[in-house]
């Protein structure tokens, strides 16, 4: 008896991604496993994103106003027909075997409903050392969490359509952590796997100021989303030890300046920050050498401080306004 392979819809939410969308769509069409349809959801771009999409055999959906990745993904889900949905961020280019490897995990582990992958160390477009920092860190913390997890990350992700029918769509109130919140709703009902066999090259942040602003903005939802979680905490990109020791470095500056101990005291706390995550320190040294490691942890310190500051601001906002955070019941269903 001939068994037909499952149909796969690819959904690419995008906003002002003319730089990378072409490489993303080319990589989709290089997948060794065929796809049923490709849907690009343009979230009110103001650049040439739509013109790039129109050069490829895909269905282009356009929104009138920028509503965020959750809303774009939801529109793609509702327009798609596949039994499985392969989500890709528009700044990601999956390796040719990415979809096939994800399908193999779903086939071999019937209780698994969601498979997501990791970023390669090599960038999609090389934009300098700040981007290299982002890719090294992003690769490391994903690799550290490979296996069965409770968190969904949708940069490169294959998921069964039935999940959205059961738990609902993405929470459109959230412009960050919307994938984490969805994974929490999946709970123990659906298995989730993070695998290093599904790999994509990623074009990441390359300007330090823009990176810090993004981290500050996104981290404001960390506490509201964590407070709404129904089960154990899922994947965390940053460890508590790293975040806590990062705050010691600027906290030591006033004392160091008053006592004349600067820069010795600040350097001591910076060293403590570096060894707070020994696995990360060893990984960066092994992959990029001592010179880059010093640069890496200098940028990493600033990123951790942006995350801590954003989380504190977000926590205070949530105390003042309990509607700042996830929707209490996300029950919208899919249609086919």
pLDDT in tens, 35-81: 999 999 999 999 999 999 999 999 999 999 999 999 999 999 999 99
Residue 271's pLDDT band, with cuts at 50, 70 and 90, is very high
Q: Which residue has the tokens 């952590």?
A: 177
Q: Residue 110 has what pLDDT?
A: 93
Mean pLDDT of 13-41: 96
Is residue 189 a contact partner of residue 87, using CB atoms and an 8 Å limit?
no
Both tokens assigned to 198: 């599904």
> Alpha-carbon distance 91 to 20, whole Å?
5
CB 256 within 8 A of CB 263: yes
Per-residue model confidence (pLDDT) at position 232: 73
Q: Which long-range contacts (CB under 8 A, 24 or more apart) does 295-300 make?
A: 295/129, 295/133, 296/133, 296/136, 296/137, 297/270, 297/273, 299/130, 299/133, 299/208, 300/133, 300/137, 300/242
Q: What is the pLDDT of residues 191-215, one digit of tens each?
A: 999 999 999 999 999 999 999 999 9
Strand segments, DSSP code E, in the chain are 8-14, 37-42, 59-62, 84-88, 92-94, 112-119, 147-149, 156-160, 191-202
pLDDT for residue 264: 73
Which one has a higher pLDDT value, 180 or 329? 180
Check if the beta carbon of residue 44 is closer than 8 Å to that of residue 64: yes
85 neighbors 99 (Cβ within 8 angstroms): no
**Tokens found for residue 97:** 């075997």
Average pLDDT, the chain: 91
Sign (positive/negative) of CA torsion 39, 43, 44, 45? negative
pLDDT average, residue stretch 272-281: 95
Alpha-carbon gap, residue 97 to 84, rounded angstroms: 16
At 310 the pLDDT is 96
What is the fold, at CATH topology level, of the domain defined by 8-205? Spore Coat Polysaccharide Biosynthesis Protein SpsA; Chain A (3.90.550)
**Is the Cβ–Cβ distance between 29 and 97 less than 8 Å?**
no
- C-alpha dihedral sign at 138, 143, 149, 152: positive
Q: CA torsion 89→94→97→101, rounded to 10°?
A: -40
- For the stretch 192-212, what's the b/e string if a residue is b when 16 or more beta carbons lie within 10 angstroms of its beta carbon? bbbbebbbbbbbbbbeeeebb
- What percent of the chain clears pLDDT 90, i.e. is strictly above it? 78
pLDDT reading at 334 higher than 70? no
How far is the C-alpha of 188 from the C-alpha of 169, rounded, in Å?
17
Tell me which of 11-20, 109-118, 237-246 is least confident. 237-246
CA-nearest of 311, 332, 303, 331 to 224 is 311
* Cα–Cα dist 35/33, whole Å: 7
129-187 pLDDT tens trace: 999 999 999 999 999 999 999 999 999 999 999 999 999 999 999 988 899 999 999 98
CA 96 centroid distance within chain: 20
pLDDT value of position 260: 59
CA-CA distances (angstroms) from residue 37 to 9, 151, 158, 305? Answer: 5, 26, 14, 42
Q: What is the Cα gyration radius of the chain?
A: 21
- 3-class DSSP state for residue 195? strand
Residue 258 binned pLDDT confidence (cut-offs 50, 70, 90): low
Confidence of residue 256 (pLDDT cuts 50, 70, 90): low
Q: Are 204 and 135 in contact (CB under 8 A)?
A: yes
């Amino acid at each position: 008896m001939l068994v037909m392979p499952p149909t796969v819809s690819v959904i690419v939410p995008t906003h002002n991604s003319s730089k990378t969308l072409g490489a993303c769509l080319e990589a989709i069409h290089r997948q060794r496993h065929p796809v049923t349809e490709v849907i690009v959801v343009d979230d009110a771009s103001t650049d040439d994103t739509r013109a790039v999409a129109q050069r490829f055999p895909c269905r282009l959906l356009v929104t009138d106003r920028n509503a965020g990745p959750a809303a774009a993904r939801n529109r793609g889900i509702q327009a798609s027909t596949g039994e499985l949905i392969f989500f890709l961020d528009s700044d990601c280019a999956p390796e040719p075997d990415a979809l096939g490897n994800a399908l193999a995990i779903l086939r071999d582990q019937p209780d698994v409903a969601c498979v997501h992958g990791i970023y390669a160390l090599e960038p999609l477009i090389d934009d300098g050392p700040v981007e290299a920092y982002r890719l090294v860190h992003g690769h490391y913390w994903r690799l550290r969490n490979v296996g069965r997890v409770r968190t969904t990350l949708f940069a490169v992700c294959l998921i069964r359509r039935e999940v959205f029918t059961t738990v609902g769509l993405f929470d459109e109130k959230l412009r960050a952590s919307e994938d984490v919140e969805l994974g929490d709703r999946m709970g123990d009902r659906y298995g989730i796997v993070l695998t290093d066999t599904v790999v994509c090259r990623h074009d990441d942040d390359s300007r330090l100021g823009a990176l810090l602003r993004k981290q500050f903005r996104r981290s404001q939802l960390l506490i509201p989303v964590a407070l709404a979680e129904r089960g154990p905490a899922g994947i965390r990109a940053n460890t508590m030890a790293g975040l806590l020791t990062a705050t010691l470095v600027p906290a030591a500056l006033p004392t160091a300046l008053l006592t004349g101990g600067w820069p010795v005291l600040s350097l001591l706390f910076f060293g403590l920050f570096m060894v707070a995550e020994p696995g990360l320190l060893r990984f960066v040294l092994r992959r990029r050498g001592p010179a880059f490691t010093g640069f890496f942890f200098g940028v990493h310190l600033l990123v951790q401080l942006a995350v801590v500051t954003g989380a504190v601001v977000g926590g205070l906002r949530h105390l003042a306004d309990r509607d700042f955070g996830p929707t209490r019941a996300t029950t919208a269903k899919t249609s086919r």
